[in-house]
Structure 1
Amino acid sequence: MVNDFCLKALIRPVLDFPKPGVIFRDITPLYQSPRAMRVIADRLIERYVEVDFSHIGAMDARGFLIGSVLAHQLNKPLILFRKQGKLPADVLAEGYQTEYGEALLEVHADSLCEGDSLLLVDDLIATGGTLIAAVNLVRRMGAQVFEAAAIIDLPELGGSTRLQSIGVPTFSLTEFSLTE
């Protein structure tokens, strides 16, 4: 976890969004703070700069923000995992459960080759549904996931545990309990 500069203090809790009883973790204040963005980018770059993997995979849509920075700074190709209907060429699709229902994740079918390895990035690990769908898509292309990284982990929702149970290590910069 990042210390001295408190990322956690800039993450805004929004009560009862998108439905009653949910505390939504709004990261937009992080993006409004150049210092916070520098801390996020520097910490993730430091963690992965010496690691041997071939691609960065970013989750739609907030994962794109940090994924593009990492891809640029680490000189890696960026693979976009999108919500249904957003990609123009041939896609592979994977259904998954979200905290709020069902969804479909897509990736261009020619994004990865057998033997490629990637770092998956998103803003948050909650139940792990989106990231697990991405892992399944990566594996269907013959590639592997090196690790899944996020700004926030909500460990009580079990996403990190679910990812680890299918052989994908996780890393986050901060975490929240469901009552924080």
Structure 2
Amino acid sequence: MIATWDDSDESSSDEESDGKVANIAFMAMEEDEIQFSFDELQNAYENLFCEYENICLKNKSLKKNAISMTKEIESLKNENSNYINKIENLNVSLKLSNDFKEENENLKLEDALKKTFLKFSNSTDKLDNLLGLQICVFDKADLGYEKIKNVKHFNNFFVKKNEPKITCNYCGRLGHISTSCIHKYKLGFVKTRKI
């Protein structure tokens, strides 16, 4: 007896509209049954057993292969994590070296600026020394006299002229006296009239 199921597209469109599922099965009766002899069955069994043993051997080898692959995967994962740690350490050391390079460049720039300013400060010291070495007209030193030890440094060579502070007795302002007071003469011209 042989049975088959019918899967047609026409019934699926009907199923969607009705909401009911109808499965159709076809069956047929077969009158001719095949009979095998004992030797044929024995040969088929031995062939099947040989295939079974081959498949078992393949299965064992594949299991061993899978175990070795899992061990290799674990070792590769450990190696990968070690490399990741090394990369992180190298990145940190690279960042530190870059920071040191930048700091070194800044220090070089600062050193160059200090040297430049030192030249200016040395020039002012030299100027003071030269001004201190000037020979005064009244200096009566001998040739063996060491002038550098007894150098006078003058803070201010130009002295401002001290003007006397004159106050006007008439208007009370600074800078003139009452005889030359403008306000006095203006008032004097105003008070006198021509007749």
For the criterion TM > 0.5, the same-fold answer is no
The TM-score, its normalising length taken from structure 1, stands at 0.15
Q: Which has the higher contact order (CA 8 A, sep 6+)?
A: 1
The TM-score, its normalising length taken from structure 2, stands at 0.14
Say which structure is richer in strand.
1
Larger Rg: 2
Say which structure is richer in helix.
2
